[in-house]
Amino acid sequence: MARLEIHKFQAQSYAAVRDEYEKYKDERHTRLHLDHVPVIDEDGQSIDYAEEIAECLELGYESVMVDGSRLGFEENIAATKRIVEIARGYGRPVEGELGAVIGHEAGPMPPYEELFAGGKGFTDAGEAGEFVRRTGLDWLSVAIGNFHGAVAPGKRDDKKMAARLNIEHLRTLREAAKVPLVLHGGSGIQKEYLREAFRAGIAKCGDEYPAALRARRGRICREGKRGSVRRHAGRNPKRTGCRRHRREALRLIYTLRRSLSRLCLL
């Protein structure tokens, strides 16, 4: 659950997401994680990130992420350390980010091959160990060629460009950071790169909301609006359709989990 799901999509509120999760959770497979609360958001606006994260910790979110990657190094350390200190009071782990995992910004994305070849925005191995040590975080999100899917209206349903990963750089980061590493923007990355990334230090992989599932959601909710009034007398047809969508989303999560498990074993 990322902050932009509230502000750019239709997730209503952190409490609403928590309540919906409680209906369908399966603790054998799922945890409620607050993802990507930025200090500076994709539109360049300052966010009251500490207040939002504290709200979610009070609501029972089981882990949180603060994203200070748009800040300078020292400012990122200070923001991340602040959240670590807050989360420790709840006994919850914290993820931070170092480097630039781009893609959420509204403007055009720079040429990918140019970025990858030059390592522009990649997590600095010389800074990674210091960042972990001074913040006390539990997981570190890294940039090694991965990027987010677009969230701007008119772009969010576009097919995502295929990405590659610099596995050698990932190994260097693992040795420097000495904490579990996180890969965001997992959709669109070739299977071979993902497999090597898990072997080289990635412990958690974020996969964007797939375009196929977005299309399915739209179809289900449209069906709810049109023809299901008679089939679901006394119910809110739109809500009924969207509940079906959420159940399908959870089934997709289980499928992804099994797929990732197989990748790690291959």
pLDDT given for residue 93 in this prediction: 97
pLDDT at 13 over 50: yes
In contact, 149 and 103? CB cutoff 8 Å? yes
pLDDT at 263 over 60: no
Pick the catalytic residue from 35, 41, 67, 207: 35
Residue 261: count of CB within 10 angstroms of its CB:
11
Residue 98, strand partner residues: 142
pLDDT given for residue 112 in this prediction: 67
DSSP letters for 32-96: -EEEEEESB-TTS-B--HHHHHHHHHHHT-SEEEEE-TTS-HHHHHHHHHHHHHHHHTTT--EEE
Q: In the chain, what percentage of residues exceed pLDDT 90? A: 45
Annotated active-site residue 35? The verdict is yes
The helix (H) or strand (E) run that includes residue 258 is: helix 237-265
pLDDT at 125 over 80: yes
Task: Collect all residues with Cβ–Cβ distance below 8 Å to 56 and sequence separation of at least 6.
Answer: 14, 18, 34, 64
Q: Which of 31-45, 56-70, 169-183 has the lowest mean pLDDT?
A: 31-45
pLDDT tens-place string over residues 249-260: 555 555 545 544
* Residue showing tokens 């069906």: 223
Catalogue all structural domains in the chain, each as residue range(s) with its CATH number.
Answer: 3-209 (3.20.20.70), 210-266 (no CATH)
Give the separation between CA 220 and CA 238, rounded to whole angstroms. 8
